[in-house]
Amino acid sequence: MTMLPPAARSVARRVYGGRGGASGDRSIPEEVAVALTYNRHAYATMMASPQDLEDFAIGFSVADGIVAHPGEILELEIVVLAAGIELRMTITPDRLQAFAARRRWMAGPTGCGLCGIEAIGEAMRSPPVVTADLVVQPEEVPRMLSALAARQPLNHLTRAVHAAGYWQPRAGLHLVREDVGRHNALDKLAGAVARQQLAEPGVVVLTSRVSVEMVQKTAIMGVPILIAVSAPTALAVRMAESANITLIAIARDDGFEVFTHPYRLADKAAAHVA
């Protein structure tokens, strides 16, 4: 494998402010085209940060239903190309058969009404219902955010990437993954959690807003609590409700809002949240 590109690069720029202009360098995040292939068949190309790519390959594959668990990926090779990076995976024969059928309808013409209906159904697929039980104290939420903020080296350098963290009662903030894309950061985290086979229930903590895909990915991970610093969409709230996920958003040092299933907060006041 050729060496991966760095996650950040230093570039020259000129700064303008109240006292005129000044020249200097700034660190900015790298963004690379990352292609995911299965048994040499192309599936998707994402723009991502070139780090933690094994986690990304596994997390994306599970989240998108290509495989059910990492063991169904028989081989994973990271291939650096002139135009980007290929995550070259070999999956089990039964998964390859299902993948081939899925890939056929995804490759349908844009004007095909049926293909559009199937694509909408895929995007709106019902998430699994999370059965894991976990209760956290309200005062632990800002601690999780503070711990996540302290463990974002790429964002500290560039101020331009998202992070997803995994918190557990006994381990604290056990894992953090960063990426220029919020979905990618969560996929990388999901892959890391799956690879480490963490059995104890945990909490996903995000630096981004909560869209429906973020809830779906969290549900597939089997995580009962999702915390984000920004607001959720209305569809994300409905999806969290149906997936039995406790959705906490607009989380800050001085407070947060609970949108679904407040029973996982050890606080009587949470039961009155609409």
Q: Catalytic site residues?
A: 112
Burial annotation 90-100 (CB, 10 A radius, 16+ → b, else e): ebbeebbeebe
Cβ-based neighbour number of residue 28 at 10 Å: 17
Pair of tokens at residue 249: 């958003």
> What is the Cα–Cα distance from 60 to 54, expressed in whole angstroms?
10
> What is the Cα–Cα distance from 130 to 220, expressed in whole angstroms?
8
Pair of tokens at residue 234: 């209305």
Contacts of 121 (CB under 8 A, 6+ apart): none
> What is the Cα–Cα distance from 274 to 260, expressed in whole angstroms?
8
Please give the order of strands across the beta sheet that includes 203-206.
172-179, 162-168, 203-206, 225-228, 246-252, 255-260
Query: Are the CB atoms for 261 and 241 separated by under 8 Å?
Result: yes
> What stretch of H or E contains 48?
strand 41-48
Q: Sign of the C-alpha dihedral, residues 259, 253, 182, 91?
A: negative
Chain position carrying tokens 């006292």: 19
Q: Please name every residue paired with 246 in a beta bridge, in sequence order, or none if there are none.
A: 225
First to last CA, the chain: 53
